[in-house]
Amino acid sequence: MQFELTTDYLNKLQDAIASKNQLFIKEQLSELYAPDIAIIINQLNVEEASYLYELINDELAADVLLELDDDKREQLLSTFSSKEIAEQIDNMESDDAADVIAELPENIQEEVLAHIEDIEQASDIAELINYEEGTAGSLMAKELVSVYAFETVSHCIEEIRKQTDSVDVLYTIYVVDNNDRLIGELSLKKLIISHPLARVEEIYEPNIQSVKTSATSEEVADFMRKYDLVVLPVVDQLNRLVGRITIDDVVDVIKETADENLQRMSGISDDVDTNDKLWVLSKARIPWLLVGMCGGIIGSRIIGTYEEQLKIHPEMAFFIPLIGAMGGNVGVQSSAIIVQGLANNTLLGDKIGPKLLKELGVGLVNGIICSVLIWAYASVIEDWKLAATVSVALLTVIIFASFLGTFVPLTMNKFKINPALATGPFVTTLNDIIGMTIYFLVGRLLYGVFL
């Protein structure tokens, strides 16, 4: 169903590029969609990429450019003149065009804008690149169809014929008042089936949801997902219609946010993928490893204070990995559920208490199961004192880890810190330290009392 790039196929194309076999390349390209071609170009070096790009037919070229990885697009565009870039951008929707231009060096931005033939497109782009990244303003496109409330259906259809020149897909028709303020919408369906002389104000739907340009991408994504919207109008502070966001742009935001959460929880601090350079991957991963090292060093200091006890009871060391691992596991489980609940707005945001109680309940149940099992095992294999120490410590650690795994992300969220970022690394390290403390405290207590 879907194109999959294999190394064989890539090699064949690279050979064809090397031998300048245009016929073969064009034949291959004609069977592919823009995102597929972009996947291929992402794997090529600059010379190969720009040779191949020249052979893509004009309709697809702009789409291919959009689908490329950021750094590959940057490389490719650096081989273009400002005029050539402008030609490609003329074929894009305003939001995509603004994204591409925003990535260029500032002096080149102006040159490219000056070369765009469609003056309206140029002014739309100039407006859009001013919005801060990650806001509704930066996500929206200018291409939309709007009509005044006082117009007739037939006049509307005439107007739409004019406006549709610049619009690719027609989702809905926005209705504005005399001051360009958004007051409702008119479905295309309604328009088609209404009498030509009916007025828009008689047939439009006044209940319309919109966002301000300053809303964040995540807010927009949550909003559209929650209310099942395919397109969402964007208004300025005076409620004037300035653009629209479509769900396909938001799908990428949703995917990227989810990917980012998973990376943060895994202790990766930048957005990276397997195709990034070695040092980029390395740099994104070292911070959390250093945090983990500090945790390990603190752990070593805690165990160090029990050195004498360890000489007498070296068997205490046997279960250090178990206590550490279980604390980490329970903490990650708890925080994953909370992070997800926060991201999906399924938590009642204002009360932490009930969540903590429930989580402690889960910790208690699972803690009892685990500690009974480990007691049964250790009392058979090792001696009963060690068994008692391990099982009491395990129960305490699991309950503690449940508490921290819930409390930390909820608190982080209150202070507007991304709970996913803080949770994975922070909770795991903290639980490791606390686990060691509890284990050896319990050990000293039990051995001390019973010996």
Residues 385-404 that bind a second copy (CB under 8 A): none
The whole-angstrom separation of Cα 451 and Cα 447 is: 5
For the beta carbon of residue 327, count every other beta carbon within 10 angstroms. 31
Binding span for a second copy by CB under 8 A among 75-83, 114-122, 124-132, 280-288: 280-288
Out of 105, 189, 238, 415, which residue is the one contacting a second copy (CB under 8 A)? 189
Q: Between 6 and 45, how does the x/- string for binding to a second copy read (CB under 8 A)?
A: xxx-x----------------------x-x---x---x--
Binding span for a second copy by CB under 8 A among 77-85, 111-119, 178-186, 351-359: 351-359
The whole-angstrom separation of Cα 362 and Cα 366 is: 6
CB 132 within 8 A of CB 138: yes
Q: Which is nearer to a second copy, 112 or 427 (CB)?
A: 427
Q: Which is nearer to a second copy, 321 or 448 (CB)?
A: 321
52-111 positions binding a second copy, by CB under 8 A? none
Alpha carbon of residue 50 to chain centroid: 30
Tokens standing for 423?
Answer: 């949770």
* Shortest CB 169 distance to a second copy, Å: 7
Out of 75, 166, 333, 418, which residue is the one contacting a second copy (CB under 8 A)? 333
The whole-angstrom separation of Cα 137 and Cα 212 is: 8
Tokens standing for 348?
Answer: 């009642």
The count of C-alpha atoms lying within 13 angstroms of the C-alpha of 73, restricted to the half-sphere facing its C-beta, is 22
Q: Which is nearer to a second copy, 112 or 343 (CB)?
A: 343
φ, ψ for residue 79, nearest 5 deg:
-90, -5
Q: Which is nearer to a second copy, 167 or 417 (CB)?
A: 167
Question: Which 3 state secondary structure label does DSSP give 84?
Answer: helix
Nearest-CA neighbor of 356 among 408, 314, 395? 408
Q: Taking CB under 8 A as the rule, does residue 272 contact a second copy? A: yes
* Residue where the block lists tokens 């950021």: 70
CB 429 within 8 A of CB 292: yes
Q: Which stretch of DSSP H or E encloses residue 219? A: helix 217-226
Out of 135, 213, 217, 261, which residue is the one contacting a second copy (CB under 8 A)? 261
* Shortest CB 179 distance to a second copy, Å: 22
Q: Taking CB under 8 A as the rule, does residue 352 contact a second copy? A: no
* Shortest CB 188 distance to a second copy, Å: 6
Q: Taking CB under 8 A as the rule, does residue 350 contact a second copy? A: yes
Q: Taking CB under 8 A as the rule, does residue 250 contact a second copy? A: yes
Q: Taking CB under 8 A as the rule, does residue 157 contact a second copy? A: yes
* Shortest CB 66 distance to a second copy, Å: 9
Q: Which is nearer to a second copy, 94 or 428 (CB)?
A: 428
Residue 423, strand partner residues: none
301-330 positions binding a second copy, by CB under 8 A? 301, 303-304, 307, 310-311, 314-326, 328-330
Q: Which is nearer to a second copy, 113 or 435 (CB)?
A: 435
Q: Taking CB under 8 A as the rule, does residue 376 contact a second copy? A: no
Q: Which is nearer to a second copy, 131 or 375 (CB)?
A: 375
Out of 57, 119, 161, 416, which residue is the one contacting a second copy (CB under 8 A)? 161
* Shortest CB 63 distance to a second copy, Å: 9
Tokens standing for 245?
Answer: 């966001």
230-249 positions binding a second copy, by CB under 8 A? 230, 246-248
- Amino acid sitting at position 46: V
**Cα Rg of the chain, angstroms:** 30
Out of 29, 104, 338, 395, which residue is the one contacting a second copy (CB under 8 A)? 338
Question: Which 3 state secondary structure label does DSSP give 246?
Answer: strand
How do 211-212 and 231-235 pair as beta strands? parallel
Q: Taking CB under 8 A as the rule, does residue 344 contact a second copy? A: yes
The whole-angstrom separation of Cα 26 and Cα 38 is: 15
Nearest-CA neighbor of 438 among 349, 293, 330? 330
